[in-house]
Amino acid sequence: MKANHRMAAIAFVLVTCAVPALAQYSRQDRDQMNAMIKGELYLRNNVPCRYTSGGFGIGAEVVIEVSPTGLDWDKNLALIAEKKQSRGVDTIYWGFGPNDMIHDGKLYFKDDVVELWAEGGKPKDTEIWIRFVQIKSLDDFKKAFDLILSPKPLQDEHPEWPEEIRKAIGSRNVIPGMTRAQAFVVLGNPIGVDEGEKDGKKTEIWFPRQDTGTAGSWGKVASGETGFPVSVQFVDGKVVAIGKKSGTVMIDIKK
């Protein structure tokens, strides 16, 4: 009998040691997390989503993962690309980017993963998902939240920026004199960058994303062009030249 008790104790220790550390946040912490995502929120970065069609229509799935120390979508995009080769049914929508508004958020908790579902603001009123990972505490969530979301438009976070810059950002325009950070708030991640040097000064040419891809949810489909210039040139970190726009924003919503 003692031997059985000893074996049971050893088994208990082994099982206990094998269980990974779980998130350490209380019900009160969850309430605070839910309070943080209420109302209108503004994205700080590109948030691609995967859209698939099935028995319940077209729905979005997570692509981007945000931890307290950074964000990553490359891993999930690579997995999706592998599946697409075999099935050919996935669509990546790149329409959500910096300063886009989302609302009516809901959080879903599972150990150290917290997923956010929200609705995009018009005309991008399709659903969006963001996955927060490595969330062990309320402080972890706050750090990750601040990397991808803001409670107010991004230009309003920087009263020190010149008024003409803040106004251009609010109207989603790039203008000469913007820094790289200010241009990013309008364009998000470019799909290509050429770096060089001219007359002893560092140069960069950004090639912004032109096509949003296609999104769909709740019976609606959205696709079109971003309306961004085809190129933006920087010298010593400031915009000096802006290429022509490839077209106006065309969002087609079908019910």
Q: Is 75 in the same domain as 144?
A: yes
Single-letter amino acid, residue 12 = F
In the beta sheet, which residues pair with residue 132? 66, 114
Say what the pLDDT of residue 125 is: 83
Residue 255 confidence (pLDDT) above 60: no
205: domain CATH number? Answer: 3.30.1450
Q: Which two tokens stand for residue 199?
A: 């007359």
Q: Is 189 in the same domain as 120?
A: no
Kind and range of the H or E element at 241? strand 238-242
pLDDT tens per residue across span 109-161: 999 999 999 999 988 888 899 999 999 999 999 999 999 999 999 999 999 99
91-95, 98-102, 114-118, 140-144: segment of lowest average pLDDT: 91-95
Q: Is 147 in the same domain as 177?
A: no
- For all residues of the chain together, what is the average pLDDT? 83
Provide the number of structural domains found in the chain.
2
| 12 lies in some domain | no
Query: Considering the entire predicted model, what is its pTM?
Result: 0.82
> What does the CA dihedral 134, 138, 140, 146 come to, rounded to 10 degrees?
120
Q: Is 145 in the same domain as 168?
A: no
Say what the pLDDT of residue 77 is: 83
DSSP 124: S
pLDDT tens per residue across span 177-229: 999 999 999 999 999 999 999 889 999 999 999 988 877 665 566 677 888 99
| 218 lies in some domain | yes
In the beta sheet, which residues pair with residue 204? 195, 234
Q: Is residue 207 a contact partner of residue 231, using CB atoms and an 8 Å limit?
A: yes
Q: Is 208 in the same domain as 96?
A: no
Terminal-residue alpha carbon distance, the chain:
69
User: In angstroms, rounded to a whole number, what is the distance separating the alpha carbons of residues 159 and 171?
Assistant: 16
Say what the pLDDT of residue 13 is: 41
Say what the pLDDT of residue 251 is: 40
Residue 31 confidence (pLDDT) above 60: yes
Residue 167 confidence (pLDDT) above 90: yes
Q: Is 39 in the same domain as 139?
A: yes
Residue 1 confidence (pLDDT) above 80: no
Classify each residue of 60-83 as buried b or exposed e, where b means 16 or more C-beta atoms within 10 Å of its C-beta.
bebbbbbbbeebebeebeeebeee
Last residue of a domain, one of 121, 154, 187: 154
Q: Is 182 in the same domain as 147?
A: no
Q: Which two tokens stand for residue 52?
A: 């698939």
Residue 4 confidence (pLDDT) above 90: no
Q: Is 86 in the same domain as 196?
A: no
Q: Is 29 in the same domain as 150?
A: yes
pLDDT mean over 151-178: 97
Neighbours of 135 (CB within 10 A): 28
Domain that holds residue 41: 21-154
Residue 232 confidence (pLDDT) above 80: yes
Q: Is residue 68 a contact partner of residue 144, using CB atoms and an 8 Å limit?
A: yes
| 183 lies in some domain | yes
Last residue of a domain, one of 138, 154, 170: 154
Say what the pLDDT of residue 23 is: 65
Say what the pLDDT of residue 107 is: 97
